[in-house]
Amino acid sequence: MSLQATPTLLQLAMQSLMRDEALAVSALQDLPIELFPPLFKDAFTHKRFNILRKMVQVWPFPCLPLGGLMKIKPPYLDILQAILDGIDALLDQNIHPSSYKLRVLDLRALHKDFWTVWAGDTTASCNPGAKCKRKPQRRGSKIITKPNSLKVFIDLFLKPRTLDTCLSYVFQWVRERKALLQFVCKKLKINTVGIQNIVKVLEVLDLDCVEEIEVCCTWKLSTLATFAPYLGQMKNLLTFILSRIHVPDSVTPEEKKQLVSQITSQFLNLQSLQDLSLDSICFLKGQMDQLFRCLEAPLEILSITDSQLSESDLKSLSQCPGIRQLKHLNLSGVILTDMNPEPLRVLLERVAPTLKTLDLENCMITDSQLNVLLPALSQCVQLIMFNYIRNPISVAVLERLLYHTSRLSCLSLEMYSTPWEIYGAQGASHHRRLDELREELSKTMMNLEHTRTVWFSVAPCLPRGGNQAI
């Protein structure tokens, strides 16, 4: 004989209400707030559309975290329609907002724990009993709020296929009520080249509220130029990730110059930008100065990877006003072999007081170039991580490099390629020297006040054009 748990008083009360829909609706005005989340969840699960419509209108919290309960998928369309119908009735009352509590409809997949804990539990990640506020923005960025408006929050991932029926319904619903709503998307990811559909989405969003944009598909340069004016309206943008922009052969140098100017000029408006990541971006080679002149807000993260840069680009980067507080610099995959190391040295000196991570993987920096950079590197007193993998380095220069980095008291992780000489004609003697280096390094680290990891890749990195035997 199986034993069943005795229902709680709360469960019994809910069961009684759900058996009589008319009673449940009439009781909502006097219902204790503790009953709202479990009753709403039960009505949601069993598709009690009328109860859902009425509950939205008397929802006792400023935030309805609907996204934590549902997925924006077609099977939920009828539930979504019922809830939005309830909000429509609320908006149509044309009364002062203080007469009702609901301020935010959150469609993001967040706050799932709200639906499983008591509404007053302050340990919940989103307590709709408290006002739903933005995280404080650094540098005093502000979001303009429409008076008496309901905020609808959503995160979007735009893919090549069209929006599904649920998202399409939400967009149409918002578009028809734009004067009464703020449609807020903090995180927008784009993986489609269909700029017309992207523009339709952007024109509905409150662009002032966008905080993070990631473009992870191959756009043409002209597509990026079409997108740029919308980017310039995102005045509270914190993170911009851009990759693989394609320039067709049919684009003339004059057209390219004009398109680049249209794009880079918009960065003057991004006064809150903190994280800029550019991957496989070659259209700016020799023209990076146009971008760097427009980066006035102090960046924390700058990543330019697998891209082509010129010496003039590196020089303009070292003069960029936006790097004065840089904490993380990633230039991995930017081949620097044939460049004068002086601009990179100046760059490291400028960011030395604040820099915490430096990634120079696969830059093919030579020993002679590294010798120029060492004094600047030793000034990076806040450095925590240094990645120098896939750069050709000799045993002698590695010794010199480790001597400089040993003085950096915050450094906890260093990554290097094994010196190429280890596998050369003098392999045996150099292999012993590497073992000695490791032993000396271990003794040095024993005297440090914190743990430090020095990691060597197994495979060496040969100098360009090198003919060492492996």
pLDDT, tens only, 83-103: 999 999 888 865 544 557 899
Nearest to 37 by CA among 67, 61, 21, 17: 61
Name the CATH topology of 185-460.
3.80.10
Instruction: With CA atoms as reference, report the closest residue to 441 among 381, 398, 410.
Output: 398
Query: How far apart are alpha carbons 226 and 241 in whole angstroms?
Result: 17
Show the beta-strand stretches assigned E in 271-375. Answer: 275-279, 301-305, 328-330, 357-359
Residues 279-335: pLDDT tens digits? Answer: 999 999 999 999 999 999 999 999 999 999 999 999 999 999 999 999 999 999 999
Band of residue 448 on the pLDDT scale cut at 50, 70, 90: low
What pLDDT shows up at residue 148? 64
3-state secondary structure of 467: coil
Token readout for 147 is 């008076």
Phi and psi at residue 349, to the nearest 5°: -65, -40
Residue 466 φ then ψ, to 5°: -70, 150
In a 3-state reduction of DSSP, which class is residue 171?
helix
Q: Residue 432, exposed/middle/buried by CB under 10 A (0-12, 13-18, 19+)?
A: exposed
CA dist 435 to 124, 418, 424, 431, 440, Å? 53, 11, 16, 6, 9
3-class DSSP state of 444? helix
Specify the range with the lowest mean pLDDT, choosing from 10-14, 207-211, 315-319.
Answer: 10-14
> SS in 3 state form for 317-365?
HHCCHHHCCCCEEECCCCCCCCCCCHHHHHHHHHHCCCCCEEECCCCCC
- CA–CA distance, 213 with 441 (Å, rounded to integer): 43
The better pLDDT of the pair 46, 111 is held by 46
Contact present, 86 and 56 (Cβ < 8 Å): yes
The pLDDT of residue 132? 43
Residue 171 in this model has a pLDDT that exceeds 60: yes
- Angle 394-310-377 from CA coordinates, rounded to 5°: 45
Residue partners of 254: CB distance under 8 A and separation at least 6: none
Stronger pLDDT, 188 or 19, i.e. the higher one: 188
If one counts every other C-beta atom within 10 angstroms of the C-beta of residue 316, the result is 19
- Distance, CA of 279 to CA of 22 (rounded, Å): 59
Q: Helix, strand, coil: what percent of the chain each, to 5?
A: 45, 15, 45
Q: Are 86 and 57 in contact (CB under 8 A)?
A: yes
Which single residue is written with the structure tokens 């006003």? 321
Contact yes or no for 441/401 (Cβ under 8 A): no
Which tokens is 267 given? 């960065």
> What's the whole-number average pLDDT of the chain?
85
Per-residue pLDDT, 135: 42
Average pLDDT, integer, range 380-392: 96
pTM of the model: 0.87
Q: Shortest CA distance to 207 belongs to which of 239, 237, 250? A: 237
Query: Judging by DSSP bridges, how do beta strands 212-215 and 181-184 pair with one another?
Result: unpaired
Per-residue model confidence (pLDDT) at position 130: 46
Domains of the chain, residue spans? 10-119+147-184, 185-460
Alpha-carbon gap, residue 106 to 281, rounded angstroms: 35
- Dig out the tokens for 158 from the structure: 């735009």
Percent of the chain with pLDDT over 70: 80
DSSP 235: T
Summarize the confidence of residues 198-216 as an average pLDDT.
95
Q: Which residue has the tokens 């993070």?
A: 212
Mean pLDDT value of segment 93-120: 71
Is 389 in contact with 431 (CB distance < 8 Å)?
A: no
Residue pair 197/224 in contact (Cβ under 8 Å)? The answer is no
Task: Name residue, tokens 């992207």.
Answer: 198
Q: Which residue has the higher pLDDT, 411 or 435?
A: 411
Q: How confident is the model at residue 434 (pLDDT cuts 50, 70, 90)?
A: low
Q: Assign 396 a pLDDT band (cuts: 50, 70, 90).
A: confident
What value, to the nearest 5°, has the Cα angle with vertex 70 and ends 67 and 75?
140
Place 454 in a pLDDT band, splitting at 50, 70 and 90. confident
| Tally of CB atoms within 10 A around 224 | 22
Residues 228 and 365: their CA atoms lie apart, in Å, by 34
For residue 152, give the 3-state DSSP assignment.
strand
φ, ψ of residue 32 to 5 degrees: the values are -60, 145
Which run of H or of E encompasses 203? Answer: none
For residue 234, give the amino acid letter.
M
> What is the Cα gyration radius of the chain?
29
**DSSP summary character for residue 259:** H
Q: Is it the case that residue 120 has pLDDT exceeding 70?
A: no
Q: In the structure encoding, which two tokens stand for residue 121, read together? A: 């539990």
- What is the pLDDT, as a whole number, of residue 441? 66
Model pLDDT, residue 46: 85
Classify residue 192 by burial, with Cβ atoms within 10 Å: 0-12, 13-18, 19+. Answer: middle
Nearest Cα to Cα of residue 224 among 272, 266, 252: 266
Q: Averaged over 65-92, what is the pLDDT?
A: 86
